[in-house]
Structure 1
Amino acid sequence: MKVRCEWANANDLEKEYHDTQWGMPVHDDRILFEFLILEGAQAGLSWDTILKRRDAYKDAFDDFNFNKVAGYDEEKVEELIQNSGIIRNRRKILSSIKNARAFIEIIDEFGSFDNYIWGFVNHIPIQNSFNSISEIPAKTELSENISKDLKKRGFSFVGPTIVYAFMQAVGIVNDHQVECFRYEECRKLANK
Structure 2
Amino acid sequence: MQAHLIRTVVLPFLIWFVGLALATLLSDRLLHQLDLVWVGRYLGIPGTLLIIGSFGYSLAKRRKIKTRSLPRLLSYHEVLAWLGSLMVLVHAGVHFNAILGWLAVAAMLVNVASGLTGKFLIKRARERMRQAGESPAGPDGEAGSGHFWDSLTVDAVTQWRKVHFPIAFAFGFLALAHIISIFLFWGWR
Tell me the TM-score range normalised by the shorter chain. Answer: under 0.3
Structure showing greater radius of gyration is: 2
Between Structure 1 and Structure 2, which shows a larger proportion of helix residues?
Answer: 2
TM-score for the superposition, normalised by structure 2: 0.28
TM-score for the superposition, normalised by structure 1: 0.27
